[in-house]
């Protein structure tokens, strides 16, 4: 996992949420085309990881499945990062902030898996796409960022899309939607916190502290229940962690190979894979409210992305990419 391509890799995407762009890495192959394929590959891996978690959490305690995935992710990340950096990668003056962020990330991911046990993979994914909306809202309330008409309009439309997906008050409303929304809120807050921490912390420091703290917190959940897995199930749960790390690498690589506005729209293909896997494995059929609400949330997220890109371009005196 070379350092130039790991900018903002710490913003792991759990069941959705459009990440911010990392610093561009050296173009090693294919430029924009390669970036698009990397982003598509990332969405496949994210969907696979979430599907495995949904499948295994139906047979094993949620805390156990979270511990397996987080510990395996830590092992894989450490194998790539530590040989190059050593323990100095953990040097920081913001120990408390890293622990707090790890706790938030742990809660966010756990809420996602709980939601997956209660509703469809596509439904959780669609609601998770609202994370950038909550990040923008938190930025307005916490960081006092400007709230112009365009931003407010995108937020209102996006949250309307969430209501269409969740259908509060309808007989089909699922408790899992509340857990999925909780994940989106927590992930949005993590995104804002990391934006502040990147001013003083290196990307690899953020990444390794995330992996260590999340693995530690999720390991504590084993006290709430542990069932000795079969060798096959243990291997499958470990595979979820490997898939998650691979997805984060491919996602970050894509944003290093091509402009954010080129590759980020392909991130929403995660919903396509979620719909396909849900139909094949669990027989889930997409409802009109899910499709319409998802479209509104996605378009709102893209509108916010394009707005931020234009503002950054104006601030830096260069054309938007």
Secondary structure, 3-state, 226-293: CCCCCHHHHHHHHHHHHHHHHHHHHHHHHHHHCCHHHHHHHHCHHHHHHHHHHHHHHCCCCCHHHHHH
Rounded to whole angstroms, the Cα distance separating 48 from 56 reads 12
| Residue 173: pLDDT over 70 | no
pLDDT, average across residues 140-146 = 76
Q: What per-residue confidence (pLDDT) applies to 203?
A: 76
- Asked whether the predicted pLDDT for residue 112 surpasses 70, the reply is yes
pLDDT (average), residues 292-320:
79
**Neighbouring residues of 144: CB distance < 8 A, sequence distance ≥ 6:** none
- For 27, how many CA atoms within 13 A lie in the half-sphere containing its CB? 10
Mean pLDDT of 287-291: 90
CA 222 – CA 120 distance, rounded (Å): 25
Residue 192: is its pLDDT beyond 60?
Answer: yes
Rounded to the nearest integer, the mean pLDDT of the chain is 82
Q: What is the pLDDT of residue 195?
A: 66
Question: According to the model, what pLDDT value does residue 43 have?
Answer: 93
What is the widest separation between alpha-carbon atoms in the chain?
58
The pLDDT assigned to 317 comes to 67
Across the range 263-280, mean pLDDT stands at 91
Confidence category of residue 90, pLDDT binned at 50, 70, 90: very high
pLDDT band at 12 (very low <50, low <70, confident <90, very high): very low
- Whether residue 5 is predicted with pLDDT greater than 60 in this model: the reply is no
What pLDDT does 144 receive? 75
- Global pTM reads 0.80
Q: What is the pLDDT of residues 24-53, one digit of tens each?
A: 444 334 577 888 898 899 999 999 999 999
Region 64-84 average pLDDT = 94
pLDDT (mean) for 258-273: 84
Q: Where are the domains of the chain?
A: 3-316
Alpha-carbon gap, residue 134 to 312, rounded angstroms: 20
């Amino acid at each position: 996992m070379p350092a130039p391509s790991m900018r903002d890799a710490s913003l792991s995407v759990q069941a959705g949420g459009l990440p911010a762009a990392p610093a561009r890495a050296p173009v090693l192959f294919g430029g924009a085309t390669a970036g698009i394929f990397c982003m598509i590959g990332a969405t496949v891996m994210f969907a696979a990881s979430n599907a495995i978690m949904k499948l295994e959490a139906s047979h094993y305690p949620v805390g156990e499945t979270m511990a397996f995935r987080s510990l395996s992710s830590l092992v894989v990340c450490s194998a790539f990062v530590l040989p190059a950096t050593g323990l100095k990668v953990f040097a920081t003056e913001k120990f408390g902030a890293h622990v707090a962020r790890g706790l938030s990330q742990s809660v966010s991911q756990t809420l996602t898996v709980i939601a997956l046990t209660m509703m469809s993979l596509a439904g959780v994914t669609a609601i998770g796409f609202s994370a950038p909306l909550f990040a923008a809202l938190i930025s307005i309330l916490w960081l006092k960022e400007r709230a112009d008409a365009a931003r407010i309009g995108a937020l209102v439309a996006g949250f309307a899309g969430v209501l269409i997906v969740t259908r509060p008050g309808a007989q089909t409303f699922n408790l899992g939607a509340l857990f999925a929304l909780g994940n989106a809120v927590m992930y949005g807050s993590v995104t804002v916190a990391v934006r502040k921490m990147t001013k003083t912390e290196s990307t690899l420091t953020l990444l390794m502290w995330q992996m260590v703290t999340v693995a530690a917190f999720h390991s504590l959940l084993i006290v709430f229940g542990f069932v000795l897995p079969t060798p096959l199930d243990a291997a499958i749960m470990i595979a979820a962690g490997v898939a998650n790390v691979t997805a984060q690498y491919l996602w970050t690589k894509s944003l290093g190979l091509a402009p954010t506005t080129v590759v980020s729209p392909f991130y929403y293909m995660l919903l396509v894979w979620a719909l396909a896997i849900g139909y094949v494995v669990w027989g889930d059929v997409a409802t009109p409210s899910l499709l319409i609400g998802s479209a509104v949330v996605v378009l709102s997220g893209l509108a916010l992305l394009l707005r931020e890109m234009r503002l950054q371009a104006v601030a830096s005196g260069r054309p938007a990419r």
